[in-house]
Structure 1
């Protein structure tokens, strides 16, 4: 499923980063691969191949993980449920071997503020051409409701 989204125009200033003027800066293409309950296997990224579950997002280097979650929810409403967990991995080429490398980036949980929510692509070491692999875990439905017996 290949979709194209554009991040909402928003300026952000961080002490460690220079401000990106999203009105004047051309966005980059971020290739995202989402799976339910697990990450895609690293072997699926070998020899120029990619998994079939691609989502294409146009965004900027100052985009946060939370912002990426919001864009994914625009095309996948099932992920909007409170407690849904998004686990981010960066997939990038190993320049010395034909095997791609992987780096854990962080986790965002719907309905909860977290430490990783405000991490940006730039802070996480993303480079144009890298892939983002996201495991989406829906909250458990919990045990069935107890029935109360009338006396």
Structure 2
């Protein structure tokens, strides 16, 4: 009887030693969480940078197309950024176009931009920024040449 009991105890010890301890399981779980969290943070940063870059291209495109349209159609164009509505509005004659902007991005010095019927625009510096980065567009000369920095 004692031998049977001793054999059963040995079997239980062998079975007991075949798994992870709680501490080992917690460490492995922590490492996996860390491995999956780092790329997620980088992806969020990448998305934010991409949104800033796309908005910068959109602003440049709006200004370039407005100078061309005003020159061809001999009409003045008004460009305005509304921070409350998060959109850029372009008014030419009676027509109005709206371009939505991401709510995390703010644009400075794009208020009440006037493009005259000859296609010229006054020089200015436009700053486009999100939480931690910013892009600057400098409009130089009267015909609207833009430099991004």
TM-score of the pair, normalised by structure 1: 0.25
Higher relative contact order (CA 8 A, sep 6+): 1
Question: Which structure has greater helix proportion?
Answer: 2
